[in-house]
Amino acid sequence: MYLFLKNSRLFKTYPLLSLYIMIIKRVDLVMTSKADLLLHPIRMRIIQSLYSYQQLTPKQLLEILDDIPQATLYRQLKTLLDAELVYIVDSKQIRGAKEKVYAVNQENLGIPDQEIESTSPHELTKHFMAYQSNLLKEFERYVSANEPKHYKKDGLGFSQITLHLTENELEQFGKELKQLVGKYAQKQPSNHRVGRTFGTVNIPQLYRGRDL
């Protein structure tokens, strides 16, 4: 919500950020990798919702993700359950029927080192393109439903900056980022809060800086 490079100093520090890092969508191969499982757009949205609300029934998921057909949501939820990426924590009696309660299996969201190390540059580029595609869909959903005069007030924006960091400085940056994001990620969804997607990318440049 999620996928991450387990050896990355920056992104192994916080699962919510980690979720957005590595996405894969392979239509020409049988779905076998964890990246394949996690980066399907609907499965990603299910995991994000469960991560935010901690525990949800399928009915509650349908209320949150109201643009997803019921049969599709149940099918993708079963896929995540079979892969042990979500689990059943409880069941509730609702109108005479038992409704299962699901949660994210956070300990099983990391991509194995072997899978990462066997990923070719071409495949990794496809992962990144899928990551961008998922962000683009969220962006399009927002701008299609809101007038430009609301953009600034709502905090819509995107930016890029180059940081020059040693390995130790990068590690410290990751720890501080974890603390900052963790502080606000603890805030529970409510009718006076708006869900906001923050995506992170760390691309090491091929050259080193120079002393002036």
| pLDDT value of residue 1 | 40
| pLDDT value of residue 11 | 44
Question: What's the DSSP call for residue 7?
Answer: T
Q: Indicate if the pLDDT at residue 73 is higher than 70.
A: yes
**Residue range 32-38: mean pLDDT, rounded:** 74
The string of pLDDT tens digits covering residues 108-119 is 888 888 888 888
| pLDDT value of residue 206 | 87
Question: E-strand spans in the chain?
Answer: 86-94, 97-104
Q: Indicate if the pLDDT at residue 52 is higher than 70.
A: yes
The string of pLDDT tens digits covering residues 172-184 is 999 999 899 989 9
Question: What's the DSSP call for residue 85?
Answer: S
**Residue range 181-191: mean pLDDT, rounded:** 88
Task: Give the span between the Cα atoms of 45 and 197, in whole angstroms.
Answer: 11
Q: Indicate if the pLDDT at residue 38 is higher than 70.
A: yes
pTM: 0.70
| pLDDT value of residue 34 | 79
Angstrom CA distances, 100 to 47, 89, 97, 135, stand at 16, 8, 10, 30
Task: Return the top range by mean pLDDT from 104-108, 122-126, 170-174, 187-191.
Answer: 170-174
**Residue range 175-199: mean pLDDT, rounded:** 90
| pLDDT value of residue 74 | 95
Q: Indicate if the pLDDT at residue 36 is higher than 90.
A: no
Q: Sign of the CA dihedral 10, 12, 18, 24?
A: positive
Q: Indicate if the pLDDT at residue 146 is higher than 60.
A: yes
